[in-house]
Structure 1
Amino acid sequence: MTRGRVVAVILAAVLLIAGAFALGRVAAGTAPTPTTDSAAAGFLRDMQVHHAQAVEMALLVRDRTDDETVRTIAYDMAVTQAGQSGAMYGLLDAWDLPQRSAQRAMAWTELPALDGSDSGHQMDPDAPGGMPGLATDAEVAELEAATGDAAVRLFLKLMIAHHEGGVEMADAVLARTDVPQVVTLAEGIRRAQQAEIDAMTQLLAALPPE
């Protein structure tokens, strides 16, 4: 990626984050404030961390392939997820809730569902970072070292798993909160990431054999 393209990506992400942060603060005033230990707050915190790794991997693969389809998907992921992270940060800020919690990652999935059930969404505490779909440090380092088709293949495999984890997290919070802003965010994340899973699965299948 040229220096100009790097700057363009960063500026687009910054502008989107700033706009999303502002929209998050405005939207936050239209519903009762969730508590810091609620599923809504826990999801907003954990999904920011989850999104941060997706942005990192998307920017890594853009530097490592000339495939314009993959580069476009990676750019869209980086900008979209950075914007969503800004909105999530803005909601927590507007509600005067901390951006970090003393609770372990995904502890909010142990809360009962709105219907009183356990909803079956408790997460694996041994997953990397305690969150479903996160790549390990070694996998991210492998992606950073890869080039060409090898980088694309690894990125697609890692990001499909990452998105599957994101969908799982969205489903978990939708079972546990009726806070309108969080429901809207989670539904958007689930819808977009499932569509990207389908697209990336097709791209992976079309790659030449290893």
Structure 2
Amino acid sequence: MSQAGPAPRGRRVTAVLAVLALAAGALLLARPLLGSGAPAAGGPEAGFARDMSTHHAQAVRMSFLVRDRTQDEPVRTLAFDIITTQQAQIGMMTAWLDAWRAPKADPAGPMRWMGGHAGHGAAAGAYSMPGMATPQQLRELQAASGRDAERLFLRLMIAHHRAGVEMARAVLARTEQAQVRRLAQTMVDGQRAEITLMESMLAARASGRSSR
């Protein structure tokens, strides 16, 4: 299996600058959250930041996997965009948790802040989160290549994004923190647009047509 080449230099430079800018912005945004109005360590804002960071980390992992298993430029571009966007958002949410002096993991398990998806202790693990690919599905993606890898990635990422949108909407209903609301709304808008794109890409592959 041939390995896909690196992203164009201009795209890499732009992505690095974007990540640095977002990281700097995250530190600035974190400052006002240190005051008495900072979210509680066990509140919905901290729960969202922890769980969405874990959720994003799997999306980044799957995007790296498919990027290296296909030569299809639209899929590689989508994967690159997910990697850079969600890594930057992880950096922002990590900065918030540091500012709030909140733990990076909830010992009682994930998703307690969202109510209906409450974790059942730490043993529940990240795979209890909605939309997460299972270890078996990740192994299948790692073993696939070409169109098979593309189709599996698109199916998994559509489900992953739908759950991410649900999580972002849940925190919008539970917080008045302006920074959290802005990021959550950005996630809703961005991931809904990517779902629409991925559904069209998947349909093209189901019918044997190229996305290009």
User: TM-score if structure 1 supplies the norm length?
Assistant: 0.85
Could you tell me which residue of structure 1 aligns to residue 130 of structure 2? 132
Could you tell me which residue of structure 2 aligns to residue 23 of structure 1? 25
Question: Unaligned 5+ residue runs, structure 1?
Answer: 111-121
Is residue 201 from structure 1 mapped to residue 195 from structure 2 by the alignment?
no
Q: 1:85 aligns with which of 59, 79, 90?
A: 90
Structure 1 distance, partners of 2:92, 2:79, is 20
Cα RMSD for the two superposed structures: 2.5
Q: Could you tell me which amino acid in structure 2 is paired with residue 29 of structure 1?
A: R
Percent sequence identity is 44
Could you tell me which residue of structure 2 aligns to residue 123 of structure 1? 117
Greater shift, 80-89 or 128-137, is seen at 128-137
Q: Could you tell me which amino acid in structure 2 is paired with residue 196 of structure 1?
A: E
Structure 2 distance, partners of 1:173, 1:208, is 35
Greater shift, 135-144 or 12-21, is seen at 12-21
| Cα drift, residue 104 of structure 1 | 1.0
Q: Could you tell me which amino acid in structure 1 is paired with residue 100 of structure 2?
A: W
Greater shift, 95-104 or 72-81, is seen at 95-104
Going from structure 1 to structure 2, the CA distance change for 1:64 and 1:9 (only over 3 Å counts) comes to farther
Q: Is the 8 A contact 2:59 2:83 kept in 1?
A: yes
Going from structure 1 to structure 2, the CA distance change for 1:127 and 1:168 (only over 3 Å counts) comes to farther
Structure 1 distance, partners of 2:66, 2:52, is 21
Q: Is the 8 A contact 1:41 1:92 kept in 2?
A: yes
User: TM-score if structure 2 supplies the norm length?
Assistant: 0.84
Is residue 53 from structure 1 mapped to residue 58 from structure 2 by the alignment?
yes
Going from structure 1 to structure 2, the CA distance change for 1:182 and 1:65 (only over 3 Å counts) comes to same
Q: 2:159 aligns with which of 145, 161, 168?
A: 161
3-state SS of 1:93 partner: helix
Going from structure 1 to structure 2, the CA distance change for 1:33 and 1:88 (only over 3 Å counts) comes to same
Q: Is the 8 A contact 1:128 1:135 kept in 2?
A: no
Going from structure 1 to structure 2, the CA distance change for 1:40 and 1:62 (only over 3 Å counts) comes to same
Q: Could you tell me which amino acid in structure 2 is paired with residue 197 of structure 1?
A: I
Q: 1:104 aligns with which of 97, 101, 109?
A: 109
